Amino acid sequence: MADKITENYLTLKNPVFCCFLFWASVLVIKMLLMSLLTAVQRFRYKIFPNEEDLFFKNIEVQFNDPHVERVRRAHRNDMENILPYFTMALLYICTNPRPTLACVLFRIVGIARVLHTLVYAFRPVPQPSRILAFGIPMAITFYMACSVALDMLVYI
């Protein structure tokens, strides 16, 4: 048990950490692109929330355009779910999980969150597509949190 405490799992020598780094990078890029997509939608539909942002004549400040708001909601959903996932995934790595399982979980979360954006912000499709793309990563994050908590019970 002492070895587990002193072992550094957050290193490039650990394939689980490397897998996490790749998929975390994919998700960060996706989240950054959501910011750009929001800007694209604002210019496309000439919807700006601040007086100083009005680039076009004869338009007024607006807040509730459905095209812009859909992208913003998808982006907010990313922040509400991907950021806690990052935290739990890093803690999960520190518990030295089985590499195959951990990497499969990271891949599933990454792919599901990209799919969530596609079915929410780009091409809305009927349920249950969005709930699956949302729920599966949430369940995985919950699993990781429970796994970490159970592993830490021996230390409290």
Tokens 């935290």 sit on residue: 87
pTM over 0.75: yes
Residue 3 has pLDDT above 60, yes or no: no
Residue 25 burial (10 A CB sphere; 0-12, 13-18, 19+): exposed
> At a CB cut-off of 8 Å and minimum separation 6, what does 8 contact?
none
Higher pLDDT, 138 or 2: 138
Average confidence (pLDDT) over 95-108: 98
What CATH number does the domain located at 2-155 have? 1.20.120.550
The domain ranges of the chain are 2-155
Residues 54-74 have pLDDT tens digits of: 566 666 656 677 777 888 889
Specify the higher pLDDT residue, 4 or 147.
147
Count CB-CB contacts under 10 A for residue 19: 20
Instruction: Name the pLDDT band for 133 (thresholds 50, 70, 90).
Output: very high
